[in-house]
Structure 1
Amino acid sequence: MVKISPSQHKPRCPVPRGNLTRPSGCGHGRPAGWPSPQCDDAAVRLAASGIPILLLHGRQDMTFPVALLEQTTALIPAARAVVLDDAGHMAHIDQPEQWITAVGEFLE
């Protein structure tokens, strides 16, 4: 495991998301002027796309709580939502068989 000392840690970019004029060297790994990969209306755009969507989530996820899944399914009603009860943020590691089954059933 590589440890990063506090002096090596880069602070978050102070420029708000979506701004097209981010300063260079802000730690995002892309040149200044490139758009943010984050999209504030992603759920709306995905819902309008018409593509099949699987929202596969671990109930014990502390990074993205399951409440976010409930909000997202409200925005994308056609999406299939699966919650793995005994899994956290790394659901594919915590419950690999259940994860594979959910993905397989979605792809059928």
Structure 2
Amino acid sequence: MTWERVESIRAPILLMTGDGDLYTPPALLRMQARHMPHADVVVIPEAGHCANWEQPEAFNRTVLDFLRRHPG
């Protein structure tokens, strides 16, 4: 996949990472988001790469809010 192809995505995108994620650190996620005009970037506090396990309430709230804003 090229950046040109990523930039052509028109669907809403949720990019999420933990503030302590070593695999996809927040800086890398923000760099990727610059190529995705329809992306929401969320950094979950006190979480690493597995924010869904480490901060399940914050993770679930973020996903549900995103889905409510972008139904269907």
TM-score, with normalisation over the residues of structure 2? 0.84
- In structure 1, the residue matched to 2:7 is 47
* Equivalent residues, number: 68
Q: Say which one has the larger Rg.
A: 1
**Uncovered stretches (5+) of structure 1, i.e. residues with no partner:** 1-38
Report which of the two has the higher share of helix.
2
By percentage of residues, which structure has more strand?
2
TM-score computed with the length of structure 1 as normaliser: 0.58
1:46 aligns to what SS in structure 2?
Answer: helix
Q: Which amino acid is 2:37 matched to? A: P
Deviation at residue 63 of structure 1 after TM alignment: 1.5
The percentage of counterpart residues that share the same residue type is: 37
Q: Does 1:101 align with 2:64?
A: no
Structure 1 equivalent of residue 19 of structure 2:
59
Please report the RMSD computed on the Cα atoms of aligned residues, expressed in angstroms.
1.3
The 5 A counterparts of 1:1-12 are none
